[in-house]
Structure 1
Amino acid sequence: MSGSLAMLCFGTWKGFFYSYIGVLIGSSIAFLLVRKYGKRLLRHFVDQKTFDKYDQKLQDSKNFAKLFAIGIFLPIAPDDLLCMIAGLSSISFWKFFWIIVIGKPISSFFIAILSSRSWG
């Protein structure tokens, strides 16, 4: 949604770029904060039921990075929560970062384009 607003305010390409940079910075901060402070920080942002649902699904998997990448690519996934849960996993920051760099632009751009067209 913020990508759509940025596109309306700054134009399609500038708005997309500003929104994308914000996603990279915000996702990285969320990952690093949870990596440092752990589950007790994450529990301040989500209720226990939601936390348990995603934590169990992602942590029990041998393919955490693949599931995380799919979740980031899908426009319906709770990206902030996934980034925070990734901070609890053993995935390296750089692997996490490159998944965000590659996975977010496509879904973010299409959501923003569809949203901006439905408003105007």
Structure 2
Amino acid sequence: MTDIAGVVLFILVIGVVNSYVSISMCFILAFLQVRRYGETALSSLVSQARLQKYEANLTNSKSFSRCFTLITFLPFAPDNVICYLAGPSDMSTHRVILPILLRNPLSVAFYSIGWFNLLQFIGFL
């Protein structure tokens, strides 16, 4: 929704930059929040069903690192959930933040431009 709001409220370029910064900050803060407050924060932010789904990968740090990197590069993946799950893992802060910062510019730009064109096509903008 941030991508759509950025395009609607601002011109396209400013909207893309605004969306990129806000989404990246959101993912990084999600990771840091669970890193600092631990399992208590994680259990209040992520459902038990989802925790159980990823629990096997969380115990294997190499497997989770690969999974994290892959999921952050997928366009419609649950990035906030995977950032929450990375908090208690053995991944370094650098290994979490780097994929987020590298992935987001292209993804946000394509998504925002797509929504901008769609909204122009239907006459909303």
Give how far 1:61 is off.
5.8
Amino acid of the structure 2 residue aligned with 1:112 = S
Q: Secondary structure at the match of 2:104?
A: helix
- The 1-side partners of 2:27 and 2:116 are apart by 23
- Aligned residue for 2:46, secondary structure, equals coil
User: Identity over the aligned pairs, expressed in percent?
Assistant: 32
Report if the CA contact (8 A) 1:7-1:116 is conserved. yes
- Relative distance call for 1:112 and 1:37 in structure 2 (3 A) is same
Mapped partners of 1:72, 1:58: distance in 2: 16
Counterpart-to-counterpart distance in 2, 1:77 and 1:55:
18
TM-score, scaled to structure 2: 0.84
Alignment-derived partner of residue 48 in structure 2:
48
1:85, distance to aligned residue in structure 2 (A): 0.7
1:47 counterpart letter in structure 2: S
Gaps of 5+ in 2: 121-125
Task: Quote the residue 2:31 is aligned against.
Answer: 31
Partner SS, residue 91 of structure 1: coil
Deviation per residue, 1:42-99 (Å, 9 max, x gap) = 1212221022213334544623322211101111110110111111111111221111
TM-score by length of 1: 0.87
5 Å-filtered alignment, 1:1-120, equals 1-60=1-60, 62-120=62-120
Q: Which amino acid aligns with 1:88?
A: P
4+ residue segments displaced more than 2 Å: 54-66, 115-120
RMSD across aligned positions (CA): 1.7
How far, CA to CA, are the matches of 1:95 and 1:23 in structure 2?
18
How many pairs were matched up? 120
Q: What is aligned with 2:123?
A: none
Larger radius of gyration: 2
- Aligned partner letter, 2:108: S
Q: Which amino acid is the alignment partner of residue 87 of structure 1?
A: G
